[in-house]
Chains A and B, each alone.
Chain A
């Protein structure tokens, strides 16, 4: 049995779990290639127009695996934290894919509630049945997968640069370097380090989020908001770059909440979709970095901390 695993959406965060689980069950796994032009094109072809790019890219990954495996994993992630949700498109992902890409092999699309191990195991039981009938094997594979996942750290926190940008956005926008046009490398080349949301403590996130009138009910929103508010408060960075997908409903809300919180702290929203040109992105990043540098020199020269630093060029 060969299981296809699309390298899209939350693959970047949870691949250790899925890979370990299926391998331990005794299945063979095949992961789609890194996102590239032909995957994106496949996705655009098979996905509804109105969808955001990450969902289109995911469609492309699935389509690229179509003839290469016996079953494809389409994680229907419903919940990661209690009383919070993921985007509606995650919940309906299998339907979007299955009804639009013809001739697919079997799909593994049981809902995933990752709020605790017990509920997650419900998924494992269903998904595992496709490979083996043996309950014990499933149990063992599951436990191994959970522990491997727990050991796994992603996140970037570069220490060797003088200036640092908080890089925010959904995990797939940050870690899919094709989609974000290699932003991490671009920034490093300009002498800018990066910190991502994984490097802020949960307690700090909670305390920031707790100050909102309403508890955000999207896990993405909670994480990113908490991260940026903390990074700003604790001066973990010199500015914020937010990678956002066009037509992402969650981003449209989140960006407003963040702006509200960090005032005129340097903040750049980089919108990406399949039509975004690399040249334009380069120009914007360079301009932003320039501004950060100017700001830094200015602050260094005028050590009147606590006083109002005029930074009308602060927010892009």
Chain B
């Protein structure tokens, strides 16, 4: 059995740590690229959302590298994501890939014992003791948390760095090196070392950079390829960015959600504009926009894939928030046709606007 899984931001590092630890064979699909998307679009229904297409590309590319088992997460949330797995299974079968599927669902839906059965299916391949296996899960969680932390640091400090693109380079180096580690402990140590390196980045704290919150559909904001590397771009511009939706947030949210104590902060902030859960992460999106304003950021950028149902609802609400609070929010909708040039133009225009507003405030007019 050779397991593969779809890409989503840094998740591959955590999964690598997990399987390295357990001693299970796996295939990391090639990094997302135009090619991945081309393959995905070729085989997927035209109107399906972008994340689906990219994932199909991942599976097909992984199959070419010998993967025979796919790990899918299908949570039964009121969005398409939950319906993905059935369709993806059908599709891959039709393509003639003899995949085995392991679907990790929310326990509320398939029952706790079924969930354990499915997880056991993976871990029985490993001869370790139960205790050791749990230890590996813990390592994987550590990796998720650390990589998210590094992301957050780099994205925020980029606005203050003295040497241009230092944060960006450091961040990329950390991932490159982490991918080369062969056991989880080594990876964790390396990531921790990088964390320290960020403390040594020379900063100019007198700077007042433009600060932006990145909000929107969870896959699209987390997976850099699908948002045309917006965070990298903004780091190069010397803009500080913040993003609440991360893999570690997702894990926490999922674990906590049966207790309804999940992401209280964002729920509170979204209350004024969207009281109820409507599916996907629309409510988080609204909450983040309000929170970004309250935290004194300069603006927000909402990103979602074309046709994304919950985010269309958010998009309908955001202009009101923007108007009420005098807080600029721009929406970027991405699909496989999104061209780099037009995209960059819009981002630059938005940054211009934010900078001008800042000067205005400073000059007191």
Q: Which residues in A have some Cβ–Cβ distance to B below 8 Å?
A: 47-48, 50-51, 76, 78, 85-89, 91-92, 95-96, 99-100, 111, 212-218, 221, 246-247, 249-253, 255-257, 260
Partner of A50, one of B45, B273, B306, B320: B306
User: Shortest CB–CB separation between residue A34 and chain B, in angstroms?
Assistant: 25
In Å, the complex CA distance between A281 and B46 comes to: 20
Of chain A, the residue at the smallest CB distance from B283 is A92
CB <8 Å contact, A88 and B85: no
For B48, B90, B277, B312, which residue has the most chain A Cβ atoms within 10 angstroms?
B312
Q: Which residue of chain B has the shortest Cβ distance to A97 in the bound complex?
A: B316
Partner of A96, one of B76, B78, B83, B316: B316
| Total number of residue pairs linking A and B with CB closer than 8 Å | 113
By beta carbon, the residue of chain B nearest A50 is B312
- The residue in chain A whose Cβ has the minimal distance to the Cβ of B85 is A214
B333 surroundings in chain A (CB, below 8 A)? 50
Main SS of chain A's interface residues? mixed
B295 at the interface (CB under 8 A from A): no
Q: Which of A47, A92, A253 has a CB less than 8 Å from the CB of B48? A: A253
Task: Apart from A214-B82, A217-B78, list 13 A-B contacts with CB within 8 A.
Answer: A50-B307, A88-B78, A89-B313, A92-B310, A99-B273, A212-B86, A214-B74, A214-B103, A217-B76, A217-B82, A217-B83, A256-B45, A257-B87
CB contacts (< 8 Å) of B48 on chain A: these are: 252-253, 256
Instruction: Show 10 A/B contacts (Cβ-Cβ < 8 Å), sorted by A.
Output: A51-B316, A78-B276, A87-B309, A88-B282, A95-B273, A99-B317, A247-B306, A250-B80, A250-B309, A253-B83
Residues of A within 8 A of B82 (CB): 214, 217
Q: Quick one: closest A residue to B44, CB to CB?
A: A256
A111 and B276 in contact (CB under 8 A), knowing A99-B320, A214-B86?
Answer: yes
The answer to whether A91 and B278 touch across the interface, beta carbons within 8 angstroms, is yes
Closest to B46 in A: A252
**Distance of A223 from chain B, by nearest CB (Å):** 15
**Complex: how many Å from CA A217 to CA B282?**
18
Cβ A252 vs Cβ B76 within 8 A? no
The distance in angstroms between the C-alpha atoms of A78 and B78, with both chains bound, is 10
Contact of B308 with A by CB under 8 A: yes
Which residues of B lie under 8 Å from residue A213 when comparing CB positions?
A: 85-86, 89
- Select B279's contact among A47, A76, A85, A221, beta carbons within 8 Å: A85
Q: Are B80 and A253 in contact (CB under 8 A)?
A: yes
Q: How far is the CA of A214 from the CA of B83 in the complex (A)?
A: 8
Chain B residues with Cβ under 8 A from A96's Cβ? 313, 316-317
Chain A hits for B317, CB < 8 A = 92, 95-96, 99
- Interface residues, chain B, with chain A CB atoms under 8 Å away: 45-49, 74, 76, 78-80, 82-83, 85-87, 89-90, 103, 273-274, 276-280, 282, 306-310, 312-313, 315-317, 319-320, 333
In the complex the two chains form, what is the Cα distance from A100 to B76 in whole Å?
A: 30
Report the nearest A residue to B274, measured CB to CB.
Answer: A95
Inter-chain contacts of A111 with B (CB < 8 A): 276
CB contacts (< 8 Å) of A252 on chain B: these are: 45-49, 80, 307
* Closest residue on chain B to residue A90 by CB atoms: B278
Which B residues touch A255, using CB under 8 A? Answer: 45
Residue of B nearest to A98 (CB): B320
Closest-CB distance, B92 to chain A (whole angstroms): 12
**How long is the Cα–Cα vector from A92 to B310 in the complex, in angstroms?**
8
Q: How far apart are the CA atoms of A89 and B306 in the complex, in Å? A: 15
* Contact (Cβ within 8 A) B309 A88: yes
Instruction: Indicate if the CB atoms of A247 and B78 lie closer than 8 Å.
Output: no
Q: Taking CB as reference atom, which chain A residue is nearest B91?
A: A256
Q: Smallest CB-CB separation from B78: which chain A residue?
A: A85
Q: Which residue of B80, B103, B276, B319 contacts A91 across the interface (Cβ within 8 Å)?
A: B276
Chain A neighbourhood of B47, CB < 8 A: 246-247, 249, 251-252
For residue B319, which residues in chain A have a CB less than 8 angstroms away from its CB? 99-100
Instruction: Return chain A residues, CB-CB under 8 Å to B74.
Output: 214
Per the bound structure, the CA–CA distance linking A217 and B81 in Å amounts to 11
Residue of A nearest to B82 (CB): A217
* Contact indicator A88/B280 (Cβ below 8 Å): yes
Bound Cα distance from A203 to B176, whole angstroms: 55
Chain B nearest CB, measured from A245 CB (Å): 10
Using CB atoms, name the residue of chain A closest to B279.
Answer: A88
Choose from A216, A246, A249, A253 the contact partner of B308 (Cβ within 8 Å).
Answer: A249
Residues of B within 8 A of A260 (CB): 90
Whether the Cβ atoms of B90 and A256 lie closer than 8 Å is yes
Whose C-beta in chain A lies nearest to the C-beta of B310? Answer: A88
CB contacts (< 8 Å) of A92 on chain B: these are 274, 276, 278, 282, 310, 313, 316-317
Q: List the B side residues contacting A256 at CB < 8 Å.
A: 45, 48, 87, 90
How far, in angstroms, from A250 to B278 measured CA to CA in the complex? 15
**Separation of A175 and B128 alpha carbons in the complex (Å):** 60
Closest to B313 in A: A92
Known: A249-B49, A253-B83. A95 touches B313 (CB 8 A): yes
Distance of A217 Cα from B76 Cα, bound (Å): 7
Q: How far is the CB of A167 from chain B (nearest CB, A)?
A: 20
Which of A47, A100, A216, A249 is in CB contact (< 8 Å) with B307?
A: A249
With known contacts A88-B278, A92-B274, A92-B282, A50–B86 Cβ distance under 8 A: no
Whole-angstrom distance between the Cβ of B336 and the nearest chain A Cβ: 15
The 8 closest A-B pairs by CB, nearest first: A92-B313, A91-B278, A85-B78, A88-B279, A252-B47, A99-B320, A96-B316, A88-B310
Docked-complex contact A50 and B315, CB < 8 angstroms: yes
Is the Cβ of A100 less than 8 Å from the Cβ of B45?
no
- C-alpha gap A251/B307 in the complex (Å): 11
CB of A276, distance to nearest CB on chain B (Å): 15
**Chain B nearest CB: distance from A87 CB in Å?**
6
Interface centre among A47, A95, A212, A250 (most CB of B within 10 A): A95
Give the complex CA separation of A85 and B82 in angstroms: 12
B307–A48 contact, CB under 8 A?
A: no
Q: Which of B87, B274, B280, B316 contacts A100 (CB 8 A)?
A: B316
CA A214 to CA B89, docked complex, whole Å: 11
Chain A residues in 8 Å Cβ range of B49 = 249, 252
When chains A and B are docked, how far (Å) is the Cα of A107 from the Cα of B251? 37
Q: Which residue of B lies closest to A99 (CB)?
A: B320
- CB <8 Å contact, A247 and B307: yes
